Amino acid sequence: MTASGNMGQIDVAALAERLAQAEELQLIDVREANELAIARLEGFEHLPLSQFKQWAEQIQARFDPSAETIVMCHHGMRSAQMCQWLIAQGFTQVKNLTGGIDAYADKIDPTMTRY
C-alpha cells in the first residue's frame, strides 16, 4: 500500500500461498450470486456490487479498516472499483486480486470451472 492511497495488487500465486498458510486476511468477493454458483474460493465474504446499498453502511462494522483486505471478482475490474471505494472509507491495506477468479482457475486450480 502506498502513502498516496492507491490500492495494492496481489497475484493469484501469492494469494494461493497465503491461503495455504491460513494467514489472517479479510477476503471480499464482489461477484454476483450466479457467478459464485459457478466458481468460488473458501473464506471470501460475498458482497455483490449490485447490492451495494444493502451492505455499504455496515462495511466499517463488518471489517477492520486497518487489516489487510483482498478483493476479488471475475477478472479484476469490479474488485478494483471496490478497492478504491474501501480506500475512500479509510481502509489502509487494500489489495486487488490481479486477474480475479479467472486467473486463479487458470494458474492455480485447473479443476475450477471457468466462465
Q: What CATH code is carried by the domain that includes residue 65?
A: 3.40.250.10
Q: Residues 6 or more apart from 10 whose CB is under 8 A from it?
A: 70, 95, 96, 97, 98
Backbone φ and ψ of 34, nearest 5°: -65, -30
Full domain range(s) for residue 79? 8-107
C-alpha grid cell for residue 70? 483482498
Catalytic (active site) residue 83: no
56 with 50: CB under 8 angstroms? no
Q: Which amino acid is at 90?
A: G
Q: 0.85 exceeded by the pTM? A: yes
Grid coordinates of 24: 489472517
Query: Does residue 113 lie within any of the structural domains?
Result: no
Catalytic residue among 25, 59, 73, 82: 73
Question: pLDDT tens digits for 51-99?
Answer: 999 999 999 999 999 999 999 999 999 999 999 999 999 999 999 999 9
> What local confidence, expressed as pLDDT, does residue 5 receive?
59
Assigned domain for 38 exists: yes
